[in-house]
Structure 1
Amino acid sequence: MMKTMTRTARGQGGFTLIELLVVVAIIGVLAAIAVPQYQNYVERSEASAGYSTIRSLQTPYDAAIFSSDTITAVTDLGMQSGASSLGTVAANVTDADTGAGTLTFTFDGESVLPANSTVTLTRDADGVWTCTTANIPEQAIPNNCSDPTL
């Protein structure tokens, strides 16, 4: 005797509307938290990039001062004028006798930081470097700039 097998009708598998709405809500909450944190991360990384760029010029600046070389632009310190896509770098000697002056990174509109935000390293007559910032959000200020004496 042959047994015949009959198929039982099953409902189609899948997700219910409630399950899909729960997943969408979870993704929405995660995105609401992640996007601002990512923006803070990008601000901080760009501010640190500007700081690192001018920080790399401290030694050539000091060497030029000790050698009595004239510094009129960052090209005198071995950096190309368009070295960073985030902004511009400027070197300014305020007192050639003592070596006092500044190295400034100014962010332009290509950055997520506000245009004309700056990170500045200032060298006093005693050769002490200090770091200051302008128009950079508090959470984006580089760590070594929060304690200004380097």
Structure 2
Amino acid sequence: MNAQKGFTLIELMIVIAIIGILAAIAIPQYQNYIAKSQVSRVMSEVGSMRTATETCLNEGKDASACDFGWTTSNLLGATTKNLQGENLVATFNDDGSATLAAEFGGNAAATLTQADQNQLQWARSIDGTWTCSTNVLERYRPTGCSAALGTVDESEEDETDTPAE
């Protein structure tokens, strides 16, 4: 009597096909999750500087003289603690309004570093209220951050374009 001592070739191929189908669905979803979490992280990192901005405005300091307590961020491509760098700029206006503008770079997901979809901004109005706005794709936008910097029509986006880790 011959007893089967392993899996047949067809059984192994079925298992490999199932794993392939699951990977084809899971990997793009994970990449979207990574990009969305990166936008939320930058929103939080830049938003944490609002208190220092308020202090500097109340003391009459210029943005270049303000100590924001900024630490570097690999999602902005910043390599120094200099806030007024290429990817993170604070602007104080004479009327009491201010802007903290960040541009994705460095280790951010590939879809977040495209020229027309890579900015997040916190803006202070003259009455002291802060608003967050961004121009990243809607599916990556965190709650509480509008699309005031420009809207991106996702129907024109290539669906095969997925962010890198």
TM range (shorter): 0.7 to 0.9
- Report the 3-state secondary structure (helix = DSSP H, G, I; strand = E; otherwise coil) of the residue aligned with 2:41: helix
User: Larger % of strand: which?
Assistant: 1
TM-score for both structures, normalised by structure 2: 0.73
- Aligned-partner residue type, residue 108 of structure 1: G
Unaligned runs of 5+ in 2: 77-86, 149-165
Which ranges of 4 or more aligned residues in structure 1 deviate by more than 2 Å? 9-12
Q: How many residues align?
A: 134
Assess if the C-alpha contact under 8 Å between 1:108 and 1:115 holds in 2: no
Q: Does 1:51 align with 2:51?
A: no
TM-score for both structures, normalised by structure 1: 0.80
Unaligned runs of 5+ in 1: 1-8
Structural mapping, 1:64-143, within 5 Å: 64-72=56-64, 76-80=67-71, 83-87=72-76, 88-93=87-92, 95-96=93-94, 98-112=95-109, 113-116=112-115, 117-134=118-135, 136-143=136-143
Bigger-Rg structure (1/2): 1
Identical residues among aligned pairs (%): 39
CA RMSD, Structure 1 to Structure 2 (Å): 2.0
Assess if the C-alpha contact under 8 Å between 1:91 and 1:103 holds in 2: yes
